[in-house]
Structure 1
Amino acid sequence: MSEPRVRPDPAFALLELYEEALPEVYGYLLSRCGSRAVAEELTSETFLGAVSACRATEAPPVSTGWLIGVARHKLVDHWRRREREERGLRLVRETETVDPWEGEIDALLAREVLAELGGHHRAALTLRYLDGLPVPEVARLLGRTVHATEALLVRAKAAFRTAYRGKEGCHD
């Protein structure tokens, strides 16, 4: 009679990768949310979520790239939570539809403006333009249709442009 085989816990692979992946996951999150406290919290959520996810049947192999994907989902969830909290407090105003990405922009000022946008605008712009994801992937991550995501991106760019121009005059 053969002895039953014990499957090794896939979380051990995650533990082996932890020290190498931690700075990359944290850096990814910090560069997108701009807050150390939020980046630290989301990094913690990422690794905790990864432990559960890697134990699921047919989970992908544990890698830094996979962890960045988990972090991206945690960041989107964070923005959604924050947007729900802010939604009742803010009136969304439609603005002109000229492309706000024309010309050069100040990176620090742009990051400041991005941080002040509503969560849904910030999420859409970050995923599309900082992460370089195609619109269908942004739509999937945000739980929207492609058409709704395209409309959101138009509104988000307009909101960004308006806020940027307002701050640009203050920083001259």
Structure 2
Amino acid sequence: MGHLTDLYKENFALVFKYLMTLCRDTDVAEELTQETFYKAIHSIERFNGSCKISVWLCQIAKHTYYQYVDKQVKQPELSELQVSPSIEQLLIEQEDKIELYRYIHQLKEPYREILHLRLLGGLSFQEIGEILEKNENWARVTFYRAKVKLQEEVKRSE
């Protein structure tokens, strides 16, 4: 049991950050992180060691997130309508972010994913390299290229 506790302590932050880049919601990311480790514990015997355990956990996290999204699409929850004057202000403040996300969305992979992991997830280049099964230098260079492509995309649309 001590081995599983160590596994959890060593990898919790990485899995949580990865899920935050995918869902951008702290509560959902925490819940999915717990579910990821639950699934990992129940299938630890299937881990064959062909990759780092952190990569394996992030793969489980990704599939857990996809299952969560599928469930949300199939059974959307009816939320209460909130009418307040601050909603308009929030929309105005978010306008620039939305525009930036549109530009990022137009980029091809792996540039899009690198930008999400670095900017939204706050992951280090080493962590990004581990998740994408590349090295830290590749993550740095690809991030730089993604920024250049993003700047080109913004200039082209202006």
Specify the structure having the higher radius of gyration (Cα): 1
- TM-score, normalised to structure 2, is 0.47
- TM-score, normalised to structure 1, is 0.43
Bigger relative contact order (CA 8 A; separation at least 6):
2
